[in-house]
């Protein structure tokens, strides 16, 4: 039981530490391509930092028929 409590506390501390020291930010847009790799829709560029950036970059591409929607960060 003590190991579980210690592990949970460790995870919480690491989550705060990762978020606190991550100064990396990127501007990301959600872009939709058709079957010919032409852009059919592009969202507004938004800056993401820290944990939000990790979530955006980890989001898988969505394919519906021949259209593909994905996040692009630069």
2 band by pLDDT with thresholds 50, 70 and 90: low
pTM for the whole thing?
A: 0.65
Q: What is the C-alpha separation between 1 and 29, in angstroms, rounded?
A: 44
Is pLDDT above 80 for 26? yes
- Total length of the chain: 74
Q: What is the C-alpha separation between 1 and 25, in angstroms, rounded?
A: 38
Domain boundaries, the chain: 25-74
The confidence score (pLDDT) of residue 42 equals: 97
């Amino acid at each position: 039981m003590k190991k579980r409590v210690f592990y949970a506390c460790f995870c919480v501390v690491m989550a705060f530490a990762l978020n606190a020291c991550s100064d990396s930010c990127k501007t990301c847009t959600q872009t939709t391509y058709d079957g010919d790799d032409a852009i059919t829709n592009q969202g507004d560029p938004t800056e993401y930092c820290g944990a939000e950036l990790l979530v955006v970059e980890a989001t898988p591409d969505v394919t519906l028929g021949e259209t593909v929607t994905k996040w692009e960060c630069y």
